[in-house]
Structure 1
Amino acid sequence: MGPLIVNEIISPNTNLFIAFLIGIGFGFALESSGFSSSRKLAGMFYGYDTTVLKVFFTAALTAMLGLLFFSLFGWIDLDFVYINPTYLTSAILGGAIMGAGFIMGGFCPGTAFCAISIGKLDALAFIGGLVLGILFFTEGYPMWEEIYKANFLGTPTMNDIIDLPRGVFALGMILVAFAMFWVGEWAEKKFPREEY
């Protein structure tokens, strides 16, 4: 909501309230999609349930197209949208660690909190591991600060990296999404699993 605050369209307190409502909506969407089930989430890696792929790809495309159209209509200035700085080494290591945890535990951090909110105690162990991981990283940060900050790339966007206009890149991502949805449907037929 940064551009709306910078341009004094909404106040910081209103921004927090809107973020709170968006968080409730996001949690509702996760639960409605079945993301509180570790079996459904793990099914992505085994090919028998690609709901995760479909939901998150759809969310990413919706956000991307929303920002593009908002920018086109002059409702948002994309220069004010914060982009996390890219540290390539830590992104790869962190992705590998989170991916391994996702496969073993059946949850990512967001879905773990979604599951615990409806009383699924298996998610509590995952959240405990998450807290321990945070403590391990923060308390030991001086030891791996050099690794964490290795291969700093700034704040590039994918369309800048491959030198494509934003609209052309968005069209390409839509085509990739349709291809992935097709692959997901194929995988679900290829690796069926009885209802769980």
Structure 2
Amino acid sequence: MGPLTVYEIISANTNLVLAFIIGIGFGFVLENSGFSSSRKLAGMFYGYDTTVLKVFFTAAITAMVGTLIFALFGWLDLSVIYINPTYLWSAILGGAVMGAGFILGGFCPGTAFCALSIGKLDALAFIGGLFIGVFLFTEAYPVFEGIYKAEFMGAPFVYDALGMSRGVFAALLIIAAFGMFWLGEWSERKFPRDEY
């Protein structure tokens, strides 16, 4: 809960309780959106089901607009929000590995745990692979450390890199989201799949 704990509005223990409640809510939304189905998730890559794109774009623009409004009214200090630092090559390679795993297995880590919670065995195999991958990476970290830490970029913002204000970037991202929603609908009509 970042700023709420920084300014001691809530305690560290309350922060953990709220995180737990939000996590349960997130899992509930994932399950109700159908994200425990590996076929639905893989459908994003094959074009017959773009629910993933629609849900995550909606979440991103809702969070972005809410954050900007809270900052505008002084309810949120953006300077105390932690942003993961960017290591360019590890981001690219990690994204490629996760994307390949997503296509092959039909799950990302979050959706795999969501599917496991309702008893899906394919999710159990995927989570087992996840733990094996984490273990192997940890053990081989000295080998990968150079590439993992290559091209450190700090914590850049896309709008700064593009030389525009936060508001203009937000407006453009919302327009892009509507474009992606339209593209998703077109893709579902173009590549229909009746049963999955």
TM superposition score category, shorter chain reference: over 0.9
* 1:36 alignment partner, SS class: coil
Residue segments in structure 2 that go unaligned for 5+ positions in a row:
none
> What does residue 72 of structure 2 align with?
72
- In 1: Cα distance, 2:43 partner to 2:119 partner: 21
> What does residue 192 of structure 2 align with?
192
The correspondence of residues 158-169 of structure 1 with structure 2, limited to 5 A, is 158-169=158-169
- In 1: Cα distance, 2:47 partner to 2:2 partner: 38
> What does residue 108 of structure 2 align with?
108
After superposition, give the CA deviation of every residue in 1:122-144 in whole Å (9 maximum; x if it has no partner).
Answer: 00010011001100111110001
> What does residue 122 of structure 1 align with?
122
Structure 1 segments (4+ residues) deviating >6 Å:
none
After superposition, give the CA deviation of every residue in 1:19-63 in whole Å (9 maximum; x if it has no partner).
Answer: 111101100000000000000000000000000000001011111
Q: Give me the TM-score of the superposition, normalised by structure 1.
A: 0.99
- In 1: Cα distance, 2:64 partner to 2:80 partner: 15
> What does residue 23 of structure 1 align with?
23
Bigger Cα displacement from structure 2, 13-22 vs 178-187: 13-22
* 1:153 alignment partner, SS class: strand
* 1:49 alignment partner, SS class: coil
- In 2: Cα distance, 1:11 partner to 1:159 partner: 33
CA-CA distance at 1:7 after TM superposition: 1.1
Q: What amino acid does structure 2 have at the position aligned with 1:36?
A: S
After superposition, give the CA deviation of every residue in 1:56-104 in whole Å (9 maximum; x if it has no partner).
Answer: 0101111111111111111110001111000000000000000000000
After superposition, give the CA deviation of every residue in 1:103-129 in whole Å (9 maximum; x if it has no partner).
Answer: 000000000000000000100010011
- In 1: Cα distance, 2:7 partner to 2:153 partner: 29
- In 1: Cα distance, 2:115 partner to 2:31 partner: 8
Residue segments in structure 1 that go unaligned for 5+ positions in a row:
none
Q: Give me the TM-score of the superposition, normalised by structure 2.
A: 0.99
> What does residue 5 of structure 2 align with?
5
